[in-house]
């Protein structure tokens, strides 16, 4: 079975508050980008194997964690997983989360588990905060750590272009120095405004801390507007930029 886990962008991202468990409550809109995908192959095997190409991943891969999670619950047999990475890592595009979610949905089909989408999303949420989104893979307002999802009716009639940057930004780095706060205008209200108004209203809170550490990203964003973007922003916790034309 061959699958194509796609990237996502964040349309707006507010870091609202620090939680007692050490995480942060956020508010964002996850939007799928089908034009940028990894390649994931699931193959029947005598023992579990994980092969990753075009990237080095330290420790246990999220795809392996996804298989182990299902295998522990439903006693599915081993598989060989071949993952070819095209979505840049440390770029805020959700590549690892997408790989994990597509592994769950692929194994669900491969072994006829017939698990409903909501149950798969619940399992995906155990693997990472934004993994559940990729089970649904449609525009979703995300709250909490990113796992509380609400469908949102948004179809961009714009060309979406992603610009990976030669910078790796860890989630820890992005949160360093950030000050949680309630937004002046809710994300839902902003997203209902015309796209032409988003430049002054739709904010990614991580840009303040990440751009301070990597000013070349701020320069790159300005160049996107200079070259005709209607809206441009950093995706998630960075470092990739995207633009709407």
Mean pLDDT of 228-232: 96
Q: What is the pTM of this model?
A: 0.91
pLDDT at 234 over 70: yes
Question: Is 90 exceeded by the pLDDT of residue 201?
Answer: yes
Residues 235 and 162 sit within 8 Å (Cβ to Cβ): yes
pLDDT at 170: 77
For the chain, the average pLDDT equals 92
Residue 195: CA atoms inside 13 Å, Cβ hemisphere, count?
16
Could you please report the per-residue DSSP string of 174-216? Answer: HHTT------SS-HHHHHTS-GGGHHHH--BTHHHHHHHH-HH
Q: Residue ranges per domain, the chain?
A: 2-151, 160-244
Percentage of residues in the chain having pLDDT higher than 90: 72
Helices (H) and strands (E) in the chain, counts: 9, 11
Q: Are 174 and 210 in contact (CB under 8 A)?
A: yes
Which pLDDT score is estimated for 59?
A: 59
Sign of CA dihedral 221, 163, 93, 154: positive
**Two domains, one topology: 2-151 and 160-244:** no
Active site members? 8, 130
Instruction: State mean pLDDT over 36-42.
Output: 97
At residue 79, the 3 state secondary structure works out as strand
What is the rounded distance in angstroms from the CA atom of residue 77 to the CA atom of residue 92?
A: 33
Instruction: Kindly state which CATH superfamily the domain 160-244 is placed in.
Output: GHMP kinase, C-terminal domain (3.30.70.890)
**Nearest-angstrom CA–CA distance, 56 and 34:** 23
The residues, ordered by sequence, that sit 6+ positions from 216 with a Cβ below 8 Å of its Cβ are 165, 167
What is the full DSSP assignment across 93-105? S-HHHHHHHHHHH
Cα 158 from Cα 52, distance rounded (Å): 33
Q: How far apart are CA 2 and CA 13, in angstroms?
A: 32
Which value, in Å, is the radius of gyration of the alpha carbons in the chain?
Answer: 18
What would be the CATH architecture of the domain defined by 2-151?
2-Layer Sandwich (3.30)
Residues 57-87 have pLDDT tens digits of 655 689 999 999 999 999 999 999 999 999 9
Q: Indicate if the pLDDT at residue 211 is higher than 70.
A: yes
Of residues 223 and 182, more confidence is placed in 223
pLDDT single digits (tens) 107-161: 999 999 999 999 999 999 999 888 999 999 999 999 988 888 999 999 888 899 9
- What is the crossing angle of helices 117-125 and 95-110, to 10°? 140
């Amino acid at each position: 079975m061959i699958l194509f886990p796609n990237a996502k962008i964040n349309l707006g991202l507010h870091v609202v508050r620090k939680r007692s468990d050490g995480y942060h409550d956020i508010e964002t809109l996850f939007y799928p980008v089908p034009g940028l995908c990894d390649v994931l192959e699931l193959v029947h095997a005598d023992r579990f194997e994980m092969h990753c190409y075009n990237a080095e991943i330290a420790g246990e891969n999220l795809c392996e964690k996804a298989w182990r999670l299902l295998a522990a619950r439903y006693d599915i047999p081993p598989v060989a997983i071949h993952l070819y990475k095209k979505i840049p890592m440390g770029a805020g595009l959700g590549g690892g989360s997408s790989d994990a979610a597509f592994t769950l949905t692929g194994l669900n089909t491969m072994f006829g588990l017939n698990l409903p989408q909501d149950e798969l999303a619940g399992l995906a949420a155990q693997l990472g905060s934004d993994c559940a989104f990729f089970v649904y893979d449609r525009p979703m307002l995300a709250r909490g750590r990113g796992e509380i999802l609400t469908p949102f009716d948004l179809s961009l009639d714009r060309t979406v272009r992603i610009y990976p940057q030669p910078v790796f930004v860890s989630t820890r780095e992005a949160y360093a120095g950030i000050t949680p706060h309630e937004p002046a205008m809710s994300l839902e209200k902003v997203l209902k405004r015309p796209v032409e108004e988003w430049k002054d209203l739709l904010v990614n809170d991580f840009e303040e801390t990440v751009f301070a550490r990597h000013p070349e990203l701020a320069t790159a964003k300005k160049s996107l507007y200079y070259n005709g973007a209607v809206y441009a922003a950093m995706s998630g916790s960075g470092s990739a930029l995207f633009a709407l034309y």
